[in-house]
Structure 1
Amino acid sequence: MSMIVARMVLVSLLLTGMLTSSGCGYNDLQGLDEDTKAAWSEVINQYQRRADLIPNLVNTVKGYAAHERETLESVVQARARATNVQITPEFLKDEAAFKKFQEAQQGLSGALGRLLALAEQYPNLKADQGFRDLQSQLEGTENRITVARKRYIEKVAEFNKMVRYFPTNLTAKFLLHLDEKANFTVADEKAVAKPPEVKF
Structure 2
Amino acid sequence: MNSSSSNQSEFDYLFKLLLIGDSGVGKSSLLLSFTSNTFEDLSPTIGVDFKVKIVTVGGKKLKLAIWDTAGQERFRTLTSSYYRGAQGVIMVYDVTRRDTFTNLSDIWAKEIDLYSTNQDCIKMLVGNKVDKESERVVTKKEGIEFARKYGCLFLECSAKTRVNVEQCFEELVLKILDTPSLLAEGSAGTKKNIFNQKPPQADASAGSCC
Q: TM-score, normalised by structure 2?
A: 0.23
Q: Which has the higher contact order (CA 8 A, sep 6+)?
A: 1
Q: Kindly name which structure, 1 or 2, has the bigger radius of gyration based on alpha carbons.
A: 1
Higher strand share: 2
